[in-house]
Chains A and B, each alone.
Chain A
Amino acid sequence: MAVVESRERSPLTRLQHLLHAQATIGPAVVLLVAVVVFAVLSERFLTPGNISLILQQVAVVGTLAVGQTIVILTAGIDLSCGAIMVLTSIVMAKVAAETGLPGLPALLLGFVVGTLCGVLNGVLVTRLKLPPFIVTLGTLNVFFALNLWYSGSATIRGTDMPSLLLWTGQTFTVFGTRVTYGSVMLVLLVGAMAFVLKNTAWGRHVYATGDDVEAARLSGIRTTRVLLSVYATAGLIYALAAWTLIGRIASASPQAGQTDNLDSITAVVIGGTSLFGGRGAVVGSLIGALIVGVFRNGLALAGVDVLWQTMAVGVLIIVAVSLDQWIRKVRS
């Protein structure tokens, strides 16, 4: 009984199938080409100091993008990630600075706050069945207001905090390049999340829920539980980003990271994860964040005005989403 017949494929169709099977190939090639081009354009680009700078610039948004990725894989979106991060950073820093709480409990308290913020998003999405865009647009404002209220709009200086909170900004040197612990944490986080998404039942259920929530439910997946756990985990990851943020700016500022929510979405989309859910990979989001970092840095070194850097990022987003639409049309 023949159910399948194979057909001749054109090179273009083959490329479509390749990209379909391996969504991160596209972004990886773009990153590689960008690095080569900028290295040719400016001899300062590949210097250890500059690489170190790019890694530091990417660490915060990259970490947010990991949480953003799992939310987007479920066909959701999280506009509140930056606000959760800033609120969490303020809680960690202010509690430690004012009450003299040691670094570890302050950090853990921050993780709890981040997770709770995520749980709130998850509850609103699953119980009230509101669209994630609206829920997180609302909580973005709620969390930002809480952040301004609790901080009194004042920055907490790094010198008033326990050193553990600033640890993510400290560096060690490999091959003459200074690397922050925050960047290392990002790489480990991406590795761990990639493993979980690929190798556990939970990971598969995340993809299946994003693909078609009703089909997932009929297949016996508790989709409400999956969504709740995704938003909660994302909240915890944003708290990790808060830790990295404190290290990066050596303080906790209620005004920090104002555009980081959109930047994290940009990284996820450029990294090949589909906004329609069910397709993508967390490694792609790291590459996406690096692409944005490399473009901005490389264009700046080449003496290009900031406004053109922004335009380049905009064009990348449009190209990435168009590519995703094309890949989705794959048929045997």
Chain B
Amino acid sequence: MTAVLRASGLVKRYGRVTALAGSDLELLPGEILAVIGDNGAGKSSLIKALSGAVVPDEGEIFLDGEPVSFSTPLDARRAGIETVHQSLAVAPSLDIAANLFLGRERRRKGVLGSVFRMLDRAGMREEARRQLDALGIMTIQHPGQAVETLSGGQRQAVAVARAAAFGSRVVILDEPTAALGVRESRAVLDLVLQVRERGLPVILISHNMPHVFEVADRIHIQRLGRRIAVVDPAQVSMSDAVAIMTGALEPPG
């Protein structure tokens, strides 16, 4: 099976600090790949390189076997990689539909769109409604609601829905449950599983081991700027994974 997204030998240095020391990554079709690692292991740098937020100094990235290089987040998005950043990147005072389409608004057909640059508000709301329904986020009353009136979990749901709606190849989620309560985390994890059911592979960065072990198909363990192991959550215990991550245990194989 060819990997949807594959990175090999990624290096990123910031002055004298080496954030990535030849890191690899392999994302298979239709899987949830969790990326775990201690602080400073290079998780963020790895994800930033894959989403175009930073340009790696060395190494290669392949999308469906084709070599690609991203110099801006927009490049990665155009290639079909959608990222939900930890900071969420939503505009709180705009409504849900406006946020789903932020930066890629649709215009009305005909003169109203081409000359008067009018937005297709009704069309975008309808599409937003459809996307939210498809992901089972039924209970958000209407897509015209301002995002700032939503709870943290609901905002996260909007951000994930946006990624799922526009990501055609890969969805990357950076710590989606970090700031959430138990029930809200539950809802967002369900959403992650929904995205996989749609056939989109997901890279999930998380510190929360129970969450990782619940949804991940494979776990990529990052340590000191490298991938030191990929483990199967059914074969390895949570405490062993943490031990590998911190260097207390030799990686298997």
What residues of chain A have their CB less than 8 Å away from a CB belonging to chain B?
Answer: 1-6, 17, 20-21, 196, 199-202, 204-205, 207-208, 211-212, 214-216, 218-221, 278-279, 330-332
Cβ contact within 8 Å between B149 and A216:
no
Q: How far is the CA of A205 from the CA of B102 in the complex (A)?
A: 8
Smallest CB separation, B108 vs chain A (Å): 9
Please tell me if B150 contacts chain A, counting CB pairs below 8 Å. Answer: yes
- Residues from chain B with a CB closer than 8 A to the CB of A211 are 91-94
Q: Which residue of A lies closest to B157 (CB)?
A: A3
Please tell me if B249 contacts chain A, counting CB pairs below 8 Å. Answer: no
Among A5, A205, A215, A330, point to the contact of B90 (Cβ < 8 A).
A215
Cβ contact within 8 Å between A204 and B119:
yes
Smallest CB separation, B41 vs chain A (Å): 23
Contact A3 to B140, CB < 8 A, known contacts A218-B73, A221-B102, A278-B92: yes
Q: Which residue of A lies closest to B93 (CB)?
A: A278
Cβ contact within 8 Å between A221 and B92:
no
Cβ contact within 8 Å between B107 and A201:
yes
Smallest CB separation, B62 vs chain A (Å): 23
Smallest CB separation, A82 vs chain B (Å): 28
Cβ contact within 8 Å between B141 and A208:
no
Cβ contact within 8 Å between A215 and B88:
yes
- Residues from chain B with a CB closer than 8 A to the CB of A199 are 116-119, 121
Give 10 pairs: A residue, B residue, CB < 8 Å, sorted on A: A21-B146, A200-B119, A204-B98, A211-B93, A215-B89, A216-B103, A219-B90, A220-B74, A220-B103, A278-B93
Smallest CB separation, A276 vs chain B (Å): 10
- Residues from chain B with a CB closer than 8 A to the CB of A207 are 91, 93-94
- Residues from chain A with a CB closer than 8 A to the CB of B139 are 1-5
- Residues from chain A with a CB closer than 8 A to the CB of B104 are 220
**Residue in B91, B121, B136, B137 with the greatest tally of chain A CB atoms within 10 Å:** B91
Residue count of chain B within 8 Å CB distance of chain A = 40
Cβ contact within 8 Å between A201 and B154:
no
Cβ contact within 8 Å between B102 and A3:
no
8 A Cβ contacts from B123-148 to A: 136-141, 146, 148
- Residues from chain A with a CB closer than 8 A to the CB of B85 are 218
Among B77, B137, B149, B151, point to the contact of A1 (Cβ < 8 A).
B137
Interface residues as binary, B155-166 with A (CB distance below 8 Å gives 1, 0 otherwise): 001000000000
In the A-B complex, the 3 residue pairs with the smallest Cβ-Cβ separation, listed nearest first, are: A220-B103, A218-B89, A208-B91
Q: Which residue of A lies closest to B150 (CB)?
A: A332
- Residues from chain A with a CB closer than 8 A to the CB of B197 are none
Q: How far is the CA of A220 from the CA of B73 in the complex (A)?
A: 7
Among B77, B118, B137, point to the contact of A200 (Cβ < 8 A).
B118
Contact A1 to B89, CB < 8 A, known contacts A200-B119, A332-B150: no
- Residues from chain B with a CB closer than 8 A to the CB of A205 are 103
Q: How far is the CA of A330 from the CA of B77 in the complex (A)?
A: 33
Cβ contact within 8 Å between B154 and A208:
no
Q: Which residue of B lies closest to A215 (CB)?
A: B89
Cβ contact within 8 Å between B94 and A332:
no
Contact A218 to B91, CB < 8 A, known contacts A21-B146, A204-B102, A330-B148: no
Smallest CB separation, A20 vs chain B (Å): 7
Smallest CB separation, B81 vs chain A (Å): 13
Please tell me if B153 contacts chain A, counting CB pairs below 8 Å. Answer: yes
- Residues from chain B with a CB closer than 8 A to the CB of A17 are 149
Cβ contact within 8 Å between A204 and B73:
no
Among B102, B107, B116, B119, point to the contact of A219 (Cβ < 8 A).
B102
- Residues from chain B with a CB closer than 8 A to the CB of A215 are 87-91
Smallest CB separation, A209 vs chain B (Å): 8
Q: How far is the CA of A21 from the CA of B95 in the complex (A)?
A: 10
Please tell me if B244 contacts chain A, counting CB pairs below 8 Å. Answer: no
Cβ contact within 8 Å between A219 and B187:
no
**Residue in A21, A201, A214, A221 with the greatest tally of chain B CB atoms within 10 Å:** A201
Smallest CB separation, B80 vs chain A (Å): 14
- Residues from chain A with a CB closer than 8 A to the CB of B232 are none
Cβ contact within 8 Å between A202 and B140:
no
Q: How far is the CA of A173 from the CA of B146 in the complex (A)?
A: 43
Q: How far is the CA of A241 from the CA of B80 in the complex (A)?
A: 47
Contact A3 to B94, CB < 8 A, known contacts A200-B119, A204-B119, A220-B73: no
Among A1, A196, A214, point to the contact of B190 (Cβ < 8 A).
A1
Smallest CB separation, B159 vs chain A (Å): 10
Cβ contact within 8 Å between B91 and A214:
no
- Residues from chain A with a CB closer than 8 A to the CB of B121 are 199
Smallest CB separation, B155 vs chain A (Å): 10
- Residues from chain B with a CB closer than 8 A to the CB of A216 are 89, 91, 102-103
Task: Knowing that A211-B92, A220-B73, A278-B93 touch, tell me 12 more A-B residue pairs with CB under 8 angstroms.
Answer: A3-B157, A4-B151, A196-B117, A199-B117, A200-B117, A202-B117, A204-B94, A208-B102, A212-B91, A214-B89, A216-B89, A218-B85
- Residues from chain A with a CB closer than 8 A to the CB of B103 are 205, 216, 219-221
- Residues from chain A with a CB closer than 8 A to the CB of B64 are none
Q: How far is the CA of A1 from the CA of B140 in the complex (A)?
A: 11
Cβ contact within 8 Å between B187 and A1:
yes
